[in-house]
Structure 1
Amino acid sequence: MKKNISLLLVFATTFAAMAQNKKTAAVTSKSPQGYVIGNKKVVVYTTANKSDYRISKTETLSFVENRQPFETEPTIFVDPNIRYQTLVGIGGALTDASAETFAKLSKKNQQELLTAYYDKDKGIGYTLARTNIASCDFSSGSYTYVQDNDKDLKTFSVAHDKEFKIPLIKMATAAAGGKLSLYVSPWSPPAWMKDNNSLINGGHLLPEYRQSWANHYVKFIKTYEAMGIPVWGLSVQNEPMAKQRWESCVYTAEEERDFIKNFLGPTLQKSGLSSKKLIAWDHNRDQIFQRATTILNDKDAAKYVWGIGFHWYETWTGSDMQFGNVRQTHEAFPDKALIFTEGCKEKYDVKKVDDWTLGERYGYSMINDFNAGTVAWTDWNILLDENGGPNHVGNFCFAPVHADTKKDKLIYTNAYYYMGHFSKFIRPGARRIATASSRDLLQTTSFLNTDGKLIVVVMNQSDEKIKYSLWIKGQAATTTSLPHSIATLVVE
C-alpha cells in the first residue's frame, strides 16, 4: 500500500511538473521575454509638412528611467514582449501604365526610380509587388493572352508583356537585391469566357469555361517563371463585386468559393503550384467579413486559401475607414493572412501633387491596417505620367511618383515618403508588437525586426506640435511630433 502511495505521489509530482512546464511554454510562446533596453538609443527619422524633412535623420534620443508617466504626459507605450503577426512585405504594383511610363524616362531617371523604390539603404526598400494578368484600366488598351474560343489555351502568349512590363519587373527585382515577392491578379477573363461577351462592364465567368480559366492562371505563372520571374502568389479576381467600365468580372461570394474549391485550388495543386499564396476577395474593406466567412467557413475551399486581400476605395471620406471589418476578419480567421492589395488617390489633378493629405491617407491606412492584423501592404501604380496615366478609360489617378515625360523629370509626392517610413525600416519577418498611444492625435504602430531593431512609427495629422515620450519597460525617451508629420523611431 505504501509503495502504491509513493508511486502515486511520484506520478502526481511528475504530472504537476509537466503541466507547469506546458503552462510556462504557452506563456513564453504568447509573450516572449528577454527584450532589454540597456544602453540602446533612439534614432528619429522625420517627414513633415512646411519643412525640408523627408525621411530625414533629425535627432538621436537616450532613455531615462520613468517608471510611471503622469497622465498629463503624452506617451507612446510599447511592449516588445507582446507580439502579433509577422510582416510579409510592403510594395507597389508594376502595371502596364507604370512600365510604359518608365520606358519613356532617360536611363538616368530609370535608375533613380529603381533605387528610390527598391534599394533599402538609398531608397525605401520595397519587397513586394503586384502585376496584372492581361489588361486592366491602367493599360494603354485592352488585350488578352489567348485567341477567341481557344478553350485549350493553345494560342496562349504573353508577347504583349515583353515590351514594357516584363523588363520593368526584372529590373525592379534586380534593384531589390534579386528577390521581390510578386503576386498576380486578373481583371477579366477573355470576353468569350463571360456571359456578357465583353472584357468590360462586369459579367460572369461562364460555367463551361471554369476549368479553362483555372488553367489560364497556371499558364501565366509557369510562363512568367520560365522567363525568370518567380511568382509568389495570385488573387482570384480583382474587385469581384465591381461592374466597371473597364476590365471587370463579377463573382458572388458563393461563386468565388466554388470556383476556388472545385477548379482553381485543385488545378494549382495538380500543376505543382500549391505553394503559391492564393488570395481571395481582393476588393474593399466594406464586404471583407462577409466574403471571408462565406469562403473560409467552407473547409474544402479554405484549405486552398492563404489569405484575404482588400482595397480602400469604399471609404475615402471621413476617419472611419472600416478598419474594424479587417480586425474582425483577422479575429475570426487568425490562421489566414490579411493583405492590403490596392489603394491610391483617384481623380488625378496636377495642381494637387503637393497636397499633404496624399501621404497622410497612406500613413493612417497603414498604421490601422497593420494594427488590425494585416501582414502585407501593396500600393497601386509605382509610377504614372504627368496626366495620371496612361489609362485607356480615363480613370486617371495619383501615384507616389509621377514622371513628366515631356521634361524627363520625376516628381515625388509625399505619399512616397510616408510609405517609406514603413517599408524602409520594417523589414520582412518583423513581428508587430503591442503599442498604445495616450493621445488620439498620435497614431502609432510598432514592429520588432529580425535583427533586433525595434521600429516605432508615429504620425501626427493635427496642426499641433506635440511633445511626447516613447516608453518601454520603465524607460522613456522624449521627443516632439511636428504638425502634419510622420516619424520613424529606430531603437538600436
Structure 2
Amino acid sequence: MIVKKYVTDIFNKKYYAEEKVKIEENLKEENNIINIHPEKTYQKWLGLGGALTNSTTYNLNKLSDEKKDELLNDYFKELNYKFVRIPLGSTDFSVSPEEDYSNDLETNVKILQKIKEITDIKTILTPWSPPKRFKTNNSLYGGALKKESYNDYADYLVKAISDYEFMNINIDWLSPQNEPFASQIWESCKFSIEDLKDFIYNYLAPKLKNTKLILWDHNKDNLYNNFKALYEKNSKVKGLAFHWYTGSFSEEMDLIRENYPDILQIETEMCCGFSRYKPKKWVIDAEYYLTEIINGMHHGLNAFLDWNMLLSYLGGPNHRFNNCKSAVILNKRKNDYIKTPIYYYLKHIGQTGEAKVVAISKFARDCSLDTIALKNEKLYVVVQNKSKHCQKINIRIGNELIKDKINGHSVISYVF
C-alpha cells in the first residue's frame, strides 16, 4: 500500500512537496519507532488563525485586489485558518497610535467579509488599551483602568461588539485585556487579578449577549495559578488564552486540562524577533512555531493563532519600533508577497482542519524530533527534525510500518 507524504525541506528547496511512501507489514522493528494509536484520542483540535492588526491591513492594502484575494486564500483555504484575532484600537503594530477603534472598523469589516466568503471563522476581539479618558494616567501606554470608569468601559466594549455585528461580523469571543500584567512602552493597561475579576464579573459579563469570554491572554509561566485566581464559573467564560513568549510550560497546561476540562486552551499570540529575510536563516523560527504547536497539542491545546498575518520586508510598520517576523511578508520590489518557511511549516498543521489529537509514543533518545498525530476522516502524522542530521524513522500503526528517513531541518506529513 502507498500513502502520500508532504515534505518541507527549505535547504533542498522543497515546499510542502508531495511524495509517496510504501507501507510494509510490521517486521518487528524495534529501533527509531514512532507508535501511533488511532483508537485513543484526546482533545479536539480546532485549527489555526492569525491577527488582523492595523499593520496587516495597511500592508494588505498595498497589494492589488487580485493579490489581496490570493493572499487571503493562501491563509484561509490553503492553511485552513479558522480564527481571526481583531485588536480593538491600536497596538504597537499600528501605523500610529489610535485611541478609538472606529478608524479600523470599516477596513477590518471589508477584509473579514472577504474571509467569510472563503470559510467560516471564529473572531476574537481584544483591546490593548482603553481610551485615555478611562485610564489613571490619561495615556494609551501603561496605567490602569479607573474604577469609576468600569461601567462606562464595559459599555464601550459592548458597543464595539454591536458595531461589528451591525456590519454582519459576529464577535464570537472577547478577551477583556491583552497581557493584563504588563505595563509596556506601547498600548497596554495593567490590572491586578482582583481588579480584573471585578471588572469582568460585575460589569462586563452581565452586559454580554452572545459573545463569550476568553480569559488571561498573557504568558504561561504561572498559567494555572493566575487562571485559578481569575476564573469564576460563569456561562459567559469559554476559554483560556495565552502567549508563547516566556516558554512552553507544558505542566501548567496539564493542570488546566486536569482541573478545567471544559475550558478551551487557545494560544493567541506568537512571533519571533525581526531579522532580514533569508529563507534558510528563518527555518529556526519556523521550527520554534511547530515545536510550540506540537508540544501544546500534547498538553491540551485546542487552537493556535499567529500574530501579524502580513508585515513589510522590514517587519513592520510598528510605531514603537518593535518589529518582528510574520509567516508572509511583502515583497519589497513589486506587487507581491513572500511565503516564508514559517508559512510552510504551519501548513503541516493547517492541512488537517478540525481533528482529534491521537495518542502516540516514540523513541526518546533524540529530543530533536517532534511528532504529533491528528485524526478526522483521515489520519495525519507530522514529524519535524530540528537536528542537522538525517534520521531514520519507523512509523508503526498496528501491524503496519512505514520505514523512512527525514532530512535535517525538515518536516514530513504522512496522510492515511
* Alpha-carbon distance in structure 2 between the residues aligned to 1:64 and 1:92: 41
* Alpha-carbon distance in structure 2 between the residues aligned to 1:283 and 1:324: 16
After TM superposition, the structure 1 stretch with the greater mean CA deviation from structure 2, 335-344 or 75-84, is: 75-84
- The residue aligned with 1:132 is 87
Which of 1 and 2 has greater Rg? 1
**1:304 pairs with 2:213:** no
**1:53 pairs with 2:22:** no
- The residue aligned with 1:80 is 38
CA drift of 1:353 comes to: 5.3
Change (3 A) 1:199 1:471: same
* Alpha-carbon distance in structure 2 between the residues aligned to 1:142 and 1:249: 14
1:221 pairs with one of 150, 154, 161 = 161
Task: Report the AA paired with residue 69 of structure 1.
Answer: E
2:393 pairs with one of 449, 456, 468 = 468
1:182 pairs with one of 119, 123, 126 = 123
Q: Trace 1:86-485 onto structure 2 (pairs within 5 A).
A: 86-119=44-77, 123-145=78-100, 158-162=102-106, 164-174=107-117, 176-177=118-119, 179-200=120-141, 202-268=142-208, 272-273=209-210, 276-296=211-231, 298-299=232-233, 302-315=234-247, 321-346=248-273, 348-352=274-278, 354-355=280-281, 356-424=283-351, 426-428=352-354, 430-439=355-364, 440-449=367-376, 452-485=377-410
Contact 1:49 1:483 in 2 (8 A): no
- Mind listing any 5+ residue stretches in structure 1 that lack a counterpart? 1-38, 146-156, 316-320
Change (3 A) 1:333 1:62: same
- Which SS does the other structure have where 2:404 is aligned? strand
* Alpha-carbon distance in structure 2 between the residues aligned to 1:482 and 1:351: 23
Change (3 A) 1:434 1:140: same
CA drift of 1:235 comes to: 0.8
CA drift of 1:277 comes to: 3.1
Q: TM-score, normalised by structure 1?
A: 0.80
Task: Report the AA paired with residue 82 of structure 2.
Answer: T
Change (3 A) 1:354 1:215: farther
After TM superposition, the structure 1 stretch with the greater mean CA deviation from structure 2, 103-112 or 463-472, is: 103-112
* Alpha-carbon distance in structure 2 between the residues aligned to 1:221 and 1:107: 28
Deviations 1:128-179 (A, max 9, x none): 111101111111112233xxxxxxxxxxx724432x33222222222x33x1
- Which SS does the other structure have where 2:373 is aligned? strand
Contact 1:460 1:486 in 2 (8 A): yes
* Alpha-carbon distance in structure 2 between the residues aligned to 1:247 and 1:108: 33
* Alpha-carbon distance in structure 1 between the residues aligned to 2:196 and 2:116: 31
* Alpha-carbon distance in structure 2 between the residues aligned to 1:144 and 1:262: 25
* Alpha-carbon distance in structure 1 between the residues aligned to 2:79 and 2:225: 35
Contact 2:105 2:164 in 1 (8 A): no
Task: Report the AA paired with residue 53 of structure 2.
Answer: T
* Alpha-carbon distance in structure 1 between the residues aligned to 2:172 and 2:402: 40
CA drift of 1:313 comes to: 1.3
Change (3 A) 1:259 1:352: farther
- The residue aligned with 1:22 is none
**1:69 pairs with 2:29:** yes
CA drift of 1:406 comes to: 4.7
* Alpha-carbon distance in structure 1 between the residues aligned to 2:206 and 2:332: 45
Give the aligned length: 413
Contact 2:136 2:144 in 1 (8 A): yes
- Mind listing any 5+ residue stretches in structure 2 that lack a counterpart? none
Identity %: 32
Deviations 1:345-388 (A, max 9, x none): 12x22255542101101110010011110101000011001221
Change (3 A) 1:160 1:53: closer
CA drift of 1:405 comes to: 4.8
Q: TM-score, normalised by structure 2?
A: 0.95
Task: Report the AA paired with residue 189 of structure 1.
Answer: P
CA drift of 1:328 comes to: 2.3
- Which SS does the other structure have where 1:185 is aligned? strand
* Alpha-carbon distance in structure 2 between the residues aligned to 1:231 and 1:454: 32
Contact 1:93 1:131 in 2 (8 A): yes
Task: Report the AA paired with residue 455 of structure 1.
Answer: Y
Contact 1:279 1:308 in 2 (8 A): yes
Task: Report the AA paired with residue 280 of structure 1.
Answer: L
